Amino acid sequence: MKLPGVILAGIEATFNRLLMEQPDLICPALDGRCICLNLTGVDLALFFRFTADHVILLDEFEQCADATISGTPLALASAGSGNNTRDLRFDGDLQAARAFGDLLQGIDLDWEEWLSRYTGDAIAFHIGETIRYCRQWGGQAKQAFAEDLRDYLQTETRQLPVRDEVEQFVRGVDELRADVERFAMRVQRLHHRIGSDGL
């Protein structure tokens, strides 16, 4: 997949504006380097080529990138918001990749702001909402997934009992255990009586 040129240029412009405000984010490890961001699943590769003071965003790079970071969009988003980087894969020059990761975490992209310059405020707001929703969704997804899986196993495939059934079952087991214990006591008492009567 390739991003439309206008979007590509928009991301680039946003990065460069933020880099102009915080020039120290481009460290020597990045100057002159090209980092490939590879979004698996959507099959999208973006190349960030760094100069001393700005970044050039390309959808194709004639040479080999110095470092490649691959992962699903969700894994990247989660790494970008400061969570774990376990689901990402790093290849090539690790120092450059790390510097790039630091840069991504150092700048907070305001999606709405840069989209609004190309789409108008109203549309940008909707897209921003969507992105925010997606982020929230990312967070809620785990929980929702757990719930969905439980529903599926319990009511769809009936592999697992629902909570009420389990509780009923557990109560039944408890009662049975109590009955068995009572019964055992009775047997014991009968034993004693037989013993003492000398039968």
Binding footprint of another protein on the chain (CB under 8 A):
4-6, 8-9, 12-13, 16, 49, 51-54, 56-62
Comparison of 51 and 140: residue with beta carbon closer to another protein: 51
Strands 34-39 and 67-71: parallel
Comparison of 50 and 104: residue with beta carbon closer to another protein: 50
What does the alpha-carbon distance between residue 65 and residue 193 come to, in Å, rounded to a whole number? 90
Least distance between another protein and beta carbon 84 (Å): 33
Comparison of 12 and 75: residue with beta carbon closer to another protein: 12
Contacts of 134 (CB under 8 A, 6+ apart): none
Least distance between another protein and beta carbon 51 (Å): 6
Comparison of 117 and 186: residue with beta carbon closer to another protein: 117
Give which of 52, 103, 41 is closest to 75, Cα–Cα.
Answer: 41
**Cα-Cα end-to-end distance for the chain:** 92
Least distance between another protein and beta carbon 23 (Å): 11
Q: Are 99 and 34 in contact (CB under 8 A)?
A: no
Least distance between another protein and beta carbon 153 (Å): 46
